């Protein structure tokens, strides 16, 4: 049984599954990219062929345009695709709509790349499914014991309390456009807030994709054109970059909030001028990371990015071998850097078969469903 280290390798482009002929979440344009989710640090333009969950494809195409990659192929939860000798499937990661773990099996050994994930309930996406494996590849964004996310519903309760206390003021909450925004709306609805939720224009497109994918968000209205009077006592969502700006100051005596796992760090809230920090994260906290490692039962855990030392130390005490991959290019969307889409990279020329660079297998059609040998099923 070949150890996953012999067939799954961290390269500058991303994690390379060599016998399958693809990369997972490549940060540079490649022939075949399996994409865990649509956040900009994982889903980049310029690949020839992209394989992802149906919702991730819809979100990517809305963000990047349908021309951003040459071909797109959807893979539903649990469907198995054979690529050479590699069996590939996707399981939910619970991070944002469509977010997937990539499950790879090669000659009897199994590796799972979690992408970004969380274990806390989220009404806007399918929950994380633990998959037993030989190597579990995890993120470590909040891998310090200080990071323990409170229940999100309790944080939403604090927002509604503040709103009840200051009914004449506009509550404006900073949140990222993909995932956090829709989760906040769903949490507000679950807490009984059935009035309109007002949106900064930058947040509307992703909400439309969520709605089209069947996630009901209720009455959403543009905050930019709404009369100021209408916004008195209302809840407005805006990208983090907008809440500190003139845009937010136009609102009626705004109470500025921010929804992020980083709001655990008081200094961070203070620096951003945030009056109402809401600790709501789409990433696993310290307890979730450790529980997940135990649950999947992998003897070896690879950490792609984040604060790997504490996690590797903690799991080592439980007999699990940790390896820091220190992969570059993955920010996290809770950080300002990860959110804005990267400048489009030039797409590789569509030279099919026998260009100067003959190392990757030539692609036919969608580029999926055939082995690197060039002969293939489907
Ligand atoms: Zn993400
Ligand atoms: Zn990420």
Q: What is the pLDDT of residue 174?
A: 96
Ligand nearest to the CA of 93: 1
The size of the chain, in residues, is 378
Q: Residue 42 and residue 40: Cα distance in Å, rounded?
A: 5
Report how far ligand 2's centroid is from the alpha carbon of 121 (Å): 19
Report how far ligand 1's centroid is from the alpha carbon of 2 (Å): 30
Report how far ligand 2's centroid is from the alpha carbon of 106 (Å): 26
- Report DSSP state, residue 263: G
Q: What is the pLDDT of residue 114?
A: 97
Ligand nearest to the CA of 117: 1
Report how far ligand 1's centroid is from the alpha carbon of 30 (Å): 20
Backbone angles phi, psi at 138, to 5 degrees: -125, 155
Domains of the chain: 4-146+283-339 (3.60.15.10), 152-278 (3.40.50.12650)
Q: Residue 338 and residue 40: Cα distance in Å, rounded?
A: 7
Q: What is the pLDDT of residue 332?
A: 56
SS (H, E, C) 105-145: EECCEEEEECCCCCCCCCCCCCCCCCCCCCEEEEEECCCCC
Note residues around ion ligand 2 (Cβ under 5 angstroms). 41, 116, 332
CA distances from 251 to 54, 256, 371 (A): 38, 10, 57
Q: By C-alpha distance, which of 91, 62, 61, 64 is closest to 76?
A: 91
Ligand nearest to the CA of 37: 1
Report how far ligand 1's centroid is from the alpha carbon of 107 (Å): 30
Note residues around ion ligand 1 (Cβ under 5 angstroms). 39, 116, 333
Residue 47 Cα to chain centre, angstroms: 19
Q: Are strands 220-222 and 197-199 parallel, antiparallel or unpaired?
A: parallel
Report how far ligand 2's centroid is from the alpha carbon of 40 (Å): 8
Q: What is the pLDDT of residue 271?
A: 83
Report how far ligand 1's centroid is from the alpha carbon of 111 (Å): 20
Residue 28: HSE in the Cβ half-sphere, 13 Å Cα cutoff: 10
**pLDDT, one tens digit for every residue, the chain (378 residues):** 999 999 999 999 999 999 999 999 999 999 999 999 999 999 999 999 999 999 999 999 999 999 999 999 999 999 999 999 999 999 999 999 999 999 999 999 999 999 999 999 999 999 999 999 999 999 999 999 999 999 999 999 999 999 999 999 999 999 999 999 999 999 999 999 999 999 999 999 999 999 999 999 999 999 976 677 889 999 999 999 898 778 888 888 899 999 999 999 888 888 888 999 999 999 999 999 999 999 999 999 999 998 999 999 999 999 999 999 999 999 756 443 333 333 334 444 444 333 333 344 444 445 776 443 333 333
Detail the DSSP E strand segments found in the chain: 8-11, 14-17, 22-24, 32-34, 49-52, 71-74, 81-83, 86-92, 100-106, 109-113, 135-140, 171-174, 197-199, 220-222, 235-238, 255-259, 276-278, 300-306, 321-324
Report how far ligand 2's centroid is from the alpha carbon of 3 (Å): 26
Q: What is the pLDDT of residue 252?
A: 81
- Report DSSP state, residue 311: H
Ligand nearest to the CA of 142: 2
Q: Are strands 171-174 and 100-106 parallel, antiparallel or unpaired?
A: unpaired
């Amino acid at each position: 049984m070949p150890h996953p280290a012999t067939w799954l390798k961290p390269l500058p482009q991303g994690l390379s599954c060599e016998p399958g002929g693809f990369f997972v979440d490549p940060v540079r344009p490649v022939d075949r990219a399996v994409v865990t989710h649509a956040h900009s640090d994982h889903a980049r333009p310029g690949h020839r062929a992209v394989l992802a969950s149906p919702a991730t494809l819809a979100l990517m195409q809305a963000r990047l345009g349908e021309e951003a990659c040459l071909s797109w192929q959807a893979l539903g939860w649990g469907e198995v695709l054979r690529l050479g000798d590699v069996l590939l499937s996707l399981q939910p990661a619970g991070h944002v709509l469509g977010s997937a773990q990539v499950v790879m099996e090669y000659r009897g050994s199994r590796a799972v790349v979690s992408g970004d994930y969380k274990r806390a309930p989220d009404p806007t996406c399918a929950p994380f499914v633990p998959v037993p494996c030989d190597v579990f590849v995890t993120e470590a964004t909040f891998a310090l014991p200080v990071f323990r996310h409170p229940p999100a519903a309790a944080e939403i309760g604090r927002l509604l309390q503040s709103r009840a206390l200051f009914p004449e003021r506009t509550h404006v909450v900073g949140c990222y456009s993909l995932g956090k925004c829709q989760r906040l709306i769903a949490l507000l609805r679950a807490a009984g807030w059935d009035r309109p939720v007002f949106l900064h224009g930058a947040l509307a497109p992703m909400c439309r994709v969520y709605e089209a994918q069947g996630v009901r968000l209720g009455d959403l209205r543009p905050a930019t054109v709404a009369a100021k009077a209408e916004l008195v006592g209302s809840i407005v969502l805006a990208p983090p970059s907008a809440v500190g700006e003139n845009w937010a100051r136009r609102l009626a005596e705004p109470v500025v909030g921010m929804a992020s796992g980083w709001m655990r760090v008081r200094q961070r809230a203070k620096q951003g001028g945030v009056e109402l920090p809401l600790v709501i994260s789409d990433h696993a906290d310290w307890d979730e990371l450790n529980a997940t490692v135990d649950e999947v039962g992998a003897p070896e855990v690879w950490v792609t990015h984040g604060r790997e030392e504490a996690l590797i130390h903690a799991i080592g005490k439980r007999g699990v071998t940790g390896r820091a991959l220190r992969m570059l290019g993955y920010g996290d969307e809770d950080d300002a850097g990860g959110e804005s889409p990267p400048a489009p990279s030039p797409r590789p020329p569509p030279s099919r078969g026998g260009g100067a660079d003959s190392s990757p297998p030539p692609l036919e059609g969608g580029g999926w469903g055939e082995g690197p040998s060039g002969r293939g099923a489907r």
